[in-house]
Amino acid sequence: MRKKLVLNACGLKSLGGIKLFVDAFDFFIKSGSEIIVLYSENEFYEKLKKQSMENQLISFIKITNKRFLHPFLNIIANSSQKKVIQECDAIIHFGNFGFKTKNKSFVLIQNILPFVKKDLKNKLLKLFILRSIKSSNFVLIQLNHIKQLIGQRYANKIIEIGEIFEEKINLHNNEGKVVFLGSNISNKNFDFMVKVLKLISLQNKITVINPPRIIKEFLCIYTENHSQTLKVMSENDIYFHASDYETVGLPLYEAQSLGLKIVAPTKPYMQYFSGENVFLYEPKNTQSALKSIEMATNKKIRTSQALIYIENWSKILKYI
């Protein structure tokens, strides 16, 4: 029997969040499910509309309420919207914030900063996320290390959709060329990476992809899509990462599968990585990071194992 699903994409803006949603969207289309998408961002809608124009099983509802009102859509939505939502078999909330419904509900936890940051904004966000978890039947996480943040109280609700596989790959040895990603999000520690890499000899070519500002000592490249980003990454030898927190850290998996060595901090999201092509350093320790980059540069490796990360959305269907 065909399933009827609501996919709540309200508030989705980040590249990682959108990619995750699109992958799920494609899966549920192929499963033959009838899909109703709740969205709030016009650009987001335009991209989805192109790939679903001729599919009569897909419809869209635009939510015009402010972002802070999205957790209360079950109260403030108009009667026709409420009717559509309640008549579905299940609803999946992709933006951390769900709302109480009569049908089965799943909330995906993508933003973990509210669980680790103690400022007022993140404390309020955490309250909304916990409210969503309490009102949902199931909590979707990508990888196991997120369970510790959510806590044992909701352990029986958790479904882990992420899966990791290994494959053998050939590694690059491009004279120690280093690549890293630009970001203006404090958690990503862009300034720390710049500080570290400025201390490396200029004989080493360093590339930064989409930096928030031009770094004259580095090769700055701006890409327009994910494919271009992967192409630039593939032309290097080492991928440098410094985030404090990650739900997955997808660029780490992508860089490794492209044949790059990984230099990253000893953080929970790195617990899945091991092997001779992975070099860890003490978080925010400049000398430790420099030493790991030097080790990665000097280590000549022809082949190694790489981790491949995917999301298995078929796990959801058996709960609906």
Identify which of 220, 184, 256 has the alpha carbon closest to the alpha carbon of residue 14. Answer: 184
**What is the average per-residue pLDDT within 227-255?**
95
Options 1.20.1530.20, 3.30.565.10, 3.40.50.2000, 3.20.20.70; which CATH number does 166-309 get?
A: 3.40.50.2000
4-160 and 166-309 in the same fold? yes
* pLDDT greater than 70 at residue 202: no
Band of pLDDT at residue 106, cut at 50, 70 and 90: very high
**What is the average per-residue pLDDT within 237-265?**
96
Mind listing the pLDDT tens digit for each residue in 126-182? Answer: 998 999 999 999 999 999 999 988 888 899 999 999 999 999 998 877 678 999 999
Q: Where are the domains of the chain?
A: 4-160, 166-309
Q: Name the CATH topology of 4-160.
A: Rossmann fold (3.40.50)
Can you name the residues that pair with 164 across neighbouring β-strands?
309
Q: In b/e form, how buried is each residue of 44-64, taking b as 16+ CB within 10 angstroms?
A: beeebeeebeeeeebeebebe
> Pick the residue with more confidence: 107 or 12?
107
State which amino acid sits at residue 281. Answer: Y
Q: How far apart are CA 86 and CA 9, in angstroms?
A: 17
Q: How far apart are CA 243 and CA 284, in angstroms?
A: 9
**What is the average per-residue pLDDT within 106-132?**
91
Identify which of 26, 187, 25, 144 has the alpha carbon closest to the alpha carbon of residue 94. Answer: 25
pLDDT of residue 203: 66
Q: How far apart are CA 186 and CA 183, in angstroms?
A: 8
Note whether 110 and 140 are within 8 A (CB): no
Q: Which two structure tokens, joined as six digits, stand for 105?
A: 């509900």
Instruction: Read off the pTM.
Output: 0.89
3-state secondary structure the chain: CCCEEEEECCCCCCHHHHHHHHHHHHHHHHCCCEEEEEECCHHHHHHHHHCCCCCCCEEEEECCCCHHHHHHHHHHCCHHHHHHHHCCCEEEECCCCCCCCCCEEEEECCCCHHHHCCCHHHHHHHHHHHHHHHHCCEEEECCHHHHHHHCHHHHHHEEECEEEEEEEEECCCCCCCEEEECCCCHHHCHHHHHHHHHCCCCCCCEEEECCCCCCCCCEEECCCCHHHHHHHHHCCCEEECCCCCCCCCHHHHHHHHCCCEEEEECCHHHCCCCCCCEEEECCCCHHHHHHHHHHHHHCCCCEEEEEEEEECCHHHHCCC
Identify which of 124, 88, 82, 130 has the alpha carbon closest to the alpha carbon of residue 109. Answer: 130
Which range is least confidently modeled, 57-66, 68-77, 171-180, 284-293? 68-77
State which amino acid sits at residue 293. Answer: I
Mind listing the pLDDT tens digit for each residue in 192-201? Answer: 999 999 998 7
